[in-house]
Structure 1
Amino acid sequence: MSTIPLTQAASMNLITKVCALNLSLFLTPYALADFISDSTGKLELKNFYYNRDYRDPEATQSKREEWAQGFALQLESGFTEGTVGVGVDVLGMAGFKLDSSASRTRSGLLPVRDSGKAEDSYGEVGVTAKLRASHSTLKIGTLVMPPLPFLEKNIGSLHPQLFRGAYLHSQEVQDLKLDLGRITQVNQPNSTNYEALGVGTGTRKNIVVRGKNQSDAFDFAGGSYAFNKQITGSYYYSALDNLYTQHAAALQHTYPVAENQSLKSELRYARSTDNGNTNIDNTALGAQLSYSLGSHKWTGAYQTMQDNTGFAALRGSFSSLVNFFQYSDFANKDEKSWQLRYDYDFASLGVPGLSLFTRYASGSNVDLGPGRSDGREWERDIDVTYVFQNPTLKNVKVRVRNAMVRSNFERDIDETRLIVSYERPLW
């Protein structure tokens, strides 16, 4: 997929042009049958209100508060007939400012001008070239990545984070899923410009980059295997050229205790090391245990950071640490953290579509440098979602996310996000 700012449509990358040209040359009416009949279209509208209060009225910017409306049009073709099927996807996105000011920007919803004010609107269009052979699919261009251990989907912005590169997903062997790819550039959620990849340094991760925090390529390979209905294991290797490499492994086990009851455990391990120009040296260990009983679910988790730095991840991206919260990832140098979480589905009370979860995590032992006491932080999240069941409002979803964060090494915050979204299939 190649993503282009609306004002720079002529700059479509060469790979997508070649794929589109070849496609138009060899497509026959017969080949077009599945290409057209299997195509899908979807329109998504997202209204997003963001409020982060830093609890510090004397600060240069004590609050980030913006309101924006987003539109996303996604068109996906089927594949042509033949041993190797060919397809094309189109993604168009736009965002519009509803409320903002120079003193409340940088929420991540809207691009910010040099003057400090938010843009009134922004947009981009992307085109994806894709190939399918048997049970394997290759996508080339700008990618909306699926959830992977080192690259979780960003749900905290108006639009998703986009990448430029190539991604292969294969399921040729039963119960085995393989992923292979290379990413060369990133387009952040509140931007229409691609930029070089980098590593997130964080405030207390002690990650030092020698020279520019830039890389030309992020390579990854790995997959997951279901040993049986209860046990699944995964392993992924990734490397951000000149910055860091990472090995990540996980093991999940689900035990059906009784009818409507289950016990799920998970172990996660990640080892990150320097790949040329950093001091990255981290071992991340996490364990999680969940018990489900009907509409209730209780979860406990523990996470620890070891060695000389905190956890390494792509700048601006999420990772699947067990204690990754709305604001904090509890992945600073030497940090140890625990979590308690409760989920409830109100369908059992006669309110289908309504669900909530609340969670609390506490982190300690953060390295604050010589002569300073151990860093401590905690976060409490409340997340309520309602999906309308009425046919008139079908596919309308309202989500409220609230977080409270307190720390002795960062600014305290109270944060609320209100998201109203609507998805409609076009055919």
Structure 2
Amino acid sequence: MPALSHTARLAGFAGLLLPFFAHAELVRDSQLDATLRNFYLHRDYRQEGAEQSRTGSWAQALYLRFRSGFTEGDLGFGVDATSFHALKLDGGSGTSRDGSLPYDHDSLDPADQFGRGGATLKMRHAKSLLRIGLLEPQLPVAFQDDVRVLPQTFEGVLLESNDIDRLKLTAGQLWNMSTRASSNRDKLYLEGDSEAQGSDEMNFFGADYQWTERLKTSYWFSNLKDIYDQHYLSLEHRLPLADDTLLSTTLRYYQHDESGEALSGSIDNHSYGLKVSLQRSVHTFSASYQRMLGADAHPLLGGYTPQLTLVNWVTNGGFVNAGERSWQLRYDYSFAGFGLPGLAFMTRYTSGSDIVRGASSHESEYERDTDLKYTVQSGRLRDLSVQLRNSTVRTSFAKDYDELRLITSYTFRF
């Protein structure tokens, strides 16, 4: 479906909404949020003969999100508007290509500023909500990348329904995406490919069923036209062991095969992951195992789009190489136990082995991550958050580096 036809449809639908904008509920229930995000990243490459000794940048972003209410009646209409803008505070050609700021591919100079925005038209009936336009999905089939100064966005249509008790149904179609370091709207293509191999249509359907308070299962299917078919299954179980102790178990499975014209070639991948977490008071201990099967890696959307439903997805990747076996140990602590609510600590170690690359089937990698985050709990600066993240990445086949991120965020609500 050409991009022009999508724009025309949105414009026509907006015209239909205009008569409803006089309704009081549309204005009375509206909300405007302005979020300031300050993002600093420094990456120090550690291997011999590195193309760059380091990359990184410092930038300030402003997110504006307007959310209207709905018109009266069984069928309610509304409109949302979103604008993102980032300003470079520091960074040059010698440290560009850090995934935060767009850059000139000839001079390597990062952009001084960039941004994007869009509108989302919405309709509500009972417990169903239809949205058309700019989307920020966090779904098993398309998960927004929000780990740099600006978040990734998509355009499409999304329908979510909770009309059936304990069953949530989701369906939709995505047309394009804007990656985290871009103002452009690109086709949907796979990481490692180019937009020339992209598709302008991803159709998906999902069903999440809450059997009991403790047990939930999910099935999702997506078709990235002429690239792949994807199936996703998950099971989540929560078992209270005592008043302050909870055992959580998560099992997830993906299957991918090429589809239609196979613009990205043959795709043969399926994977499973198991995660077990034990939460006791302010402590949480987790262990997970993930296995990639088939001849290919787990396919990911371009622009470093994450797949956070994978149990071993971490700061800088998901341990998704062909044949890879990976395991993770993680510990989380809430300083509320010391009388410091809002302060949280996390550390994890993830290791992957048996990676198949060319003639070798013995490549390996590991990553260590440590987070310290504080969110103000009360007063005029309530919800101000400061996060410090340190990562160490080592592989037998790619770049080795140490990384530091400092992220400050505050939202004004009007």
Letter in 2 for 1:173: I
What residue in structure 2 maps to residue 323 of structure 1? 312
Question: CA offset at residue 228 of structure 1?
Answer: 0.4
Letter in 1 for 2:325: K
Which of 3, 21, 28 is residue 15 of structure 2 equivalent to? 21
Describe how 1:385-424 pairs up with structure 2 within 5 A: 385-424=373-412
What residue in structure 2 maps to residue 65 of structure 1? 56
Q: Which moved more, 1:209-218 or 1:265-274?
A: 209-218
Q: Percent identity?
A: 36
SS at 2:17 equivalent: helix
Which of 332, 338, 355 is residue 366 of structure 1 equivalent to? 355
CA contact (8 A) 1:287 1:302 kept: yes
Q: Distance in 2 between matches of 1:327 and 1:221?
A: 28
What residue in structure 1 maps to residue 206 of structure 2? 222
- CA spacing shift, 1:57–1:46, aligned 2, 3 Å: farther
CA contact (8 A) 1:88 1:129 kept: yes
Letter in 2 for 1:69: Q
Aligned pairs, number: 406
Q: Distance in 1 between matches of 2:258 and 2:350?
A: 29
Which of 275, 280, 291 is residue 278 of structure 2 equivalent to? 291
Question: CA offset at residue 135 of structure 1?
Answer: 0.9
Question: CA offset at residue 354 of structure 1?
Answer: 0.1
Q: Does 1:197 align with 2:188?
A: yes
SS at 1:171 equivalent: strand
- CA spacing shift, 1:214–1:322, aligned 2, 3 Å: same
What residue in structure 1 maps to residue 94 of structure 2? 103
CA contact (8 A) 1:46 1:419 kept: yes
Which of 117, 121, 127 is residue 113 of structure 2 equivalent to? 121
Question: CA offset at residue 199 of structure 1?
Answer: 1.3
What residue in structure 2 maps to residue 148 of structure 1? 139
SS at 2:94 equivalent: coil
Question: CA offset at residue 54 of structure 1?
Answer: 1.6
Q: Distance in 1 between matches of 2:410 and 2:6?
A: 29
Letter in 2 for 1:384: L
Q: Distance in 1 between matches of 2:142 and 2:174?
A: 12
- Tell me the C-alpha RMSD between the 2 structures: 2.0
What residue in structure 2 maps to residue 76 of structure 1? 67
What residue in structure 1 maps to residue 174 of structure 2? 183
Q: Distance in 2 between matches of 1:407 and 1:281?
A: 24
CA contact (8 A) 2:385 2:409 kept: yes
What residue in structure 1 maps to residue 266 of structure 2? 279
CA contact (8 A) 1:232 1:251 kept: yes
Q: Which moved more, 1:302-311 or 1:57-66?
A: 57-66
Letter in 2 for 1:35: L
SS at 1:71 equivalent: strand
CA-to-aligned-CA distance 1:341-374 (integer Å, 9 cap, x gap): 000000011111100110001100001222x350
Q: Distance in 1 between matches of 2:66 and 2:210?
A: 32
- CA spacing shift, 1:210–1:165, aligned 2, 3 Å: closer
Q: Distance in 2 between matches of 1:307 and 1:211?
A: 25
Which of 228, 232, 246 is residue 248 of structure 1 equivalent to? 232
* Residue ranges of structure 2 left out of the alignment (5+ in a row): none
Question: CA offset at residue 330 of structure 1?
Answer: 0.7
Q: Distance in 2 between matches of 1:258 and 1:134?
A: 38
SS at 1:257 equivalent: strand
Question: CA offset at residue 214 of structure 1?
Answer: 1.1
What residue in structure 2 maps to residue 233 of structure 1? 217
CA contact (8 A) 1:56 1:62 kept: no
Normalising by structure 2, we get a TM-score of 0.94
Question: CA offset at residue 20 of structure 1?
Answer: 2.0
- CA spacing shift, 1:104–1:180, aligned 2, 3 Å: same
- CA spacing shift, 1:28–1:165, aligned 2, 3 Å: closer
CA contact (8 A) 1:150 1:318 kept: no
Q: Which moved more, 1:106-115 or 1:134-143?
A: 106-115
Q: Does 1:262 align with 2:221?
A: no
SS at 1:331 equivalent: coil
SS at 1:332 equivalent: coil
Q: Distance in 1 between matches of 2:406 and 2:195?
A: 39
Q: Distance in 1 between matches of 2:35 and 2:69?
A: 20
* Residue ranges of structure 1 left out of the alignment (5+ in a row): 4-10, 202-208
- CA spacing shift, 1:385–1:153, aligned 2, 3 Å: farther
Q: Distance in 1 between matches of 2:323 and 2:257?
A: 15
What residue in structure 2 maps to residue 206 of structure 1? none
CA contact (8 A) 2:20 2:77 kept: no
